[in-house]
Chain A
Amino acid sequence: MGRQTPLFRLHQELGARLVDFGGWDMPVQYGSQIGEHHAVRRAAGVFDVSHMCVIDLTGAAARPFLERLLANDVGRLRAPGRALYSCLLNDAGGILDDLIVYYLGEEFFRLVVNAGTRDRDLAWIRSHAHDFGVAVHERTDLAMLAVQGPEARAKAAQLLSPADAATALGLAVFSAGELGPWFVARTGYTGEDGFEIMMPAADAVAAWRSLNSLGVASCGLGARDTLRLEAGMNLYGNDMDEGTQPFESALGWTVALQPAGRDFIGRRALEPLAASGSPRKLVGLILEDRGVLRGHQKVIVAGSGEGEITSGTFSPTLERSIAFARVPAATAGEVQVDIRGKLLRARLVKPPFVRFGRALVT
């Protein structure tokens, strides 16, 4: 038995199939995984993401601490409520985790990190926060619901008072607001518009039921994975880990080498790579033949060697198989993928595959 979110019993009641995910008992699907996927692309769905770890950082030196800790530059966060996606790197430039940081006040930032890396992240953050006198507080008291899809914001706003609803609906993309005890962010992991809402654990079941009654579909981690892959978003542990660096993980855009004087952890290891170029890159693939691309399948690149699929699935929107693959930097055009001994044709494409319900590749 793994750890359980405040919604665990409700998931059971709703008939979810529960699986272990990073040490948590989480719903993988309630009915049809493909049905849940389409619900998010076409209307709205709700995901329990309470297993993710919310960490509040407070102290006068919170900003300088994060300028040291994160590869992306919190100096870009000037308006309270603004969010930034970043990698957490080790000294060798390897990716310890990816996270979102919210700027809530000059002495108050909030991080959301992955469930599977919670303990390691907390230990790492605490070990560096000490020097800056920054307090690190894990918010185990919160549940988190992701409400995603073209109708998601309008539906979720109905859970709020009229004044709070107006504030929530006025949030810019990648911004958040504290609405009483709820924290509403216009962020997500699906390629659709929507909110991620942190709330006291005791509010979560009623919020979920209300969303269901408004026609928002219960969605599991299975649909979350196909949605994020279509949206071109990496999954930590699949597409990158401690042994890979951002430039070979399609995350170079999140590494802020300017200003040059900002000495973030991992910078010294990454600077030579930024100058010379990384020998490998992470690309999108679409399978031309019939079959399904899966993680760890071998990619054969004519003239440049081999690579490997990091995440692969069947895309319910495209009705074809798509994947991310780490391949030699010179790879272009077509490749072959070894699926159970057969060499099938796949084509390089630039993710995202799907955004706001529309296919972006053919």
Chain B
Amino acid sequence: MKIPKMSKQFWSDLNWARKHHTELLRKYRNLWVAVVNKKVVGAGDNLGKVEDIAKAKTGKKSIATMFVDGGEHIYGC
């Protein structure tokens, strides 16, 4: 599996989301966010729908997404 060449914007948006996790927590706790141009363009608990909304809004194929984890997710078996 070769690493695809992603746009600079994809990396920049993903890094932006990671860096702004604290701010995103206030509004999007335990939700998925889609980020384009350092702005949240979709949010919700269904990742597929969030991506579809973001793609429809921006026309972009590859969109940075992140789960805005509040630290509660610990799973056992």
Is the A/B pair a real complex?
Answer: no
The residues of B with any CB-CB pair to A shorter than 8 Å are: none
